[in-house]
Amino acid sequence: MFSIEIVRRKFPKSHPKVAMFDFDGTVGLLRAGWHDVLLSFHTEVLRATPRGKEMEVNSILKLIKEYIETNIGKPPVYQSYSLVNAVRELGGEPCSAEEYNEIYSQRLSALCEPRRESLRRGLANANDFIVSGVVRMLAMLRTRNIKIYMASGTEEHFISEDVKLLRIDNFFDGGVFGSQPDPAAFSKKIMVERILAENKIDGSELLGVGDGATEIIAVSEAGGFNIGVASDENGKQIVDTWKRRQLINAGADWIIPNYNDTNQLEERLFVT
């Protein structure tokens, strides 16, 4: 089944020489459900504010979803910065962004740490926690001598272990990078600039692969080519319509639900 949706360019301007992948939702599914955890926590906080107590839950959810969309792909603390601002807008006295971020991290850990532990102990199959076909995609790019970087908004120490747990660390010869304690030290834009400088390539030779707007925008601004991965994080072989909309608005050239059509992707990426 051919499942590449051509949104903008049919083919890259140049054959890619380097690729930058996002992690969560693009490669790995260990944090599937993070959106619900974040939404639940922020709703809880905002409903406790003076104005929030009088608002309909749907109105609060709409407010939260708007800033979640803006921050996807950035270090998690940016969601907490937005929560601080929202609490103030609703007449409350916020905690610090760092405190909110710590609470969210603990709740997310309660969801995903059992999955990671099952992999550490050999009780789960790595294929259960990766986007369908991604290993074939990564292998194809490496066969083509494409240098591959991992750039994730999740904390770097988590991502570094996750790619090992999923047995895909060998593909990322460019390195595995994630957010740092200092939020200003990492961004997708910084990573794109670093990749272009390290490899002495033109932006048109960079391939971006991600499921969030932040990485798509960063690669697009550099003149690169983007594959938007509108993956369903529950493992269904369907397009996530919410992701698809965000990716198209951000500037994705193609939309795919997964990498099951790796042969078609290869033919189109490296058309002669």
Could you report the per-residue pLDDT of 194-251, keeping only the tens digit for each?
Answer: 999 999 999 999 999 999 999 999 999 999 999 999 999 887 888 999 999 999 999 9
CB atoms within 10 A of CB 66: 11
Q: Is the pLDDT of residue 1 over 80?
A: no
What is the pLDDT averaged over residues 121-132?
Answer: 95
Q: Residues 14, 205: contact at Cβ < 8 Å?
A: yes
Closest CA to 19 of 188, 117, 148, 145: 148
Instruction: Decide if pLDDT at 2 tops 80.
Output: no
N residues, the chain:
272
Residue 271: predicted pLDDT:
87
How far apart are alpha carbons 183 and 76 in whole angstroms? 9
Q: In the prediction, which pLDDT does 84 show?
A: 98
Cβ-contact 139, 117 below 8 angstroms:
no
DSSP for 45-106 reads HHHTSTTGGGS-HHHHHHHHHHHHHHHTTS-THHHHHHHHHHHHHTT-----HHHHHHHHHH
Sheet holding 206-210, edge to edge: 5-6, 254-256, 225-229, 206-210, 18-21, 147-155, 175-179
269's enclosing H/E stretch is helix 262-269
Give me the chain's average pLDDT, please.
Answer: 95
Structure tokens given for 41: 């926590």
Which tens digits make up the pLDDT trace of 241-252?
A: 999 999 999 999
Residue 101 is predicted with a pLDDT of 95
Q: Kindly tell me the number of DSSP H helices and DSSP E strands found in the chain.
A: 10, 7
Q: Are 2 and 264 in contact (CB under 8 A)?
A: yes
CATH 3.40.50.1000 placement within the chain? 5-29+130-269
* Cα 5 to Cα 8: distance, rounded to the nearest angstrom: 9
Burial 79-95 (b: 16+ CB within 10 A, else e): bbbbbbebbeebebebb
Q: What is the pLDDT of residues 159-190, one digit of tens each?
A: 999 999 999 999 999 999 999 989 889 999 99
Q: Which two tokens stand for residue 191?
A: 């990573």
- Percent of the chain whose pLDDT exceeds 90: 91
Determine the pLDDT at residue 213: 93
Could you tell me which of 113, 33, 22, 13 has the C-alpha nearest to residue 75? 22
CA dihedral for 198, 78, 115, 241, sign (positive or negative): negative
Query: 169 and 142 in contact (C-beta within 8 Å)?
Result: no
Residue type, 2: F
Is the per-residue pLDDT at 148 higher than 90? yes
**Does the reported pTM lie above 0.85?**
yes
Question: What is the CATH number that goes with domain 5-29+130-269?
Answer: 3.40.50.1000
